[in-house]
Amino acid sequence: MKKFLLTAAVPAYADEYNYVTLNVATFASGINNSDQIVGNYASGGFLYSKGKYTTLSDSLGFSTQPEGIK
């Protein structure tokens, strides 16, 4: 009778996550590999990068709703 040893490859690393608490009434809709987050809030869109918010708005007054970031 032959015996076989079955092995499985296991990654030598673990996923690492950082959590950010956004302001109340914001909705995050995208994040990229640089940890930049885009989304919208009551009166427009935003970009959150390196701990700071930048507002995004349409100069024509229409709704701004970012849906993703690369």
- Per residue in 3-42, pLDDT (tens digit) is 445 445 555 566 777 777 877 688 889 999 898 999 888 8
The confidence score (pLDDT) of residue 14 equals 62
Q: pLDDT class for 44, splitting at 50, 70, 90?
A: confident
- Side by side, which strands form the sheet with 44-49? 26-31, 37-41, 44-49, 52-56
pTM for this one? Answer: 0.66
Query: Would you give the distance in Å from CA 18 to the centre of its chain?
Result: 10
Q: What's the chain's Rg over C-alpha atoms? A: 21
Give, in degrees to the nearest 5, the angle at Cα 23 between 19 and 28: 65
